[in-house]
Amino acid sequence: MPDLDPGVMGGTPTNPEYYLKYSIEPLEFIFQNDIPFAEATIIKYLVRWRDKNGVEDLKKARVYLDRLIKHHDKRWYIKEPKNESPETFH
């Protein structure tokens, strides 16, 4: 199958060169550890930022991290009294 990403030098569309420097491909790590979508997306952006899109990838990771925090803050405050901190509910 031809490479679908013109920015990838080597690798494949699911295993581009910027992931090959790690001892385990990030996607394989994500699958082996059953990491949910938002967390997996954060990992993807954090692992590749230096080699692909620079600070733009860090900003994308931050968007997912902020949404994840907001989602879980809502769940904590619905279930628990408001005077408790989220760190209490691990």
Summarize the confidence of residues 10-33 as an average pLDDT.
Answer: 81
Amino acid at 24: I
pTM: 0.65
How many CB atoms are closer than 10 A to CB 36?
9
Encoded tokens for 61: 């990771």
Q: Assign 76 to helix, strand or coil.
A: helix
Q: What is the pLDDT at residue 40?
A: 97
Q: Which phi and psi (to 5°) does residue 35 adopt?
A: -80, 130
Encoded tokens for 77: 């405050």
Summarize the confidence of residues 51-65 as an average pLDDT.
Answer: 96
The domain limits of the chain are 23-89
Residue bearing tokens 């080597």: 10
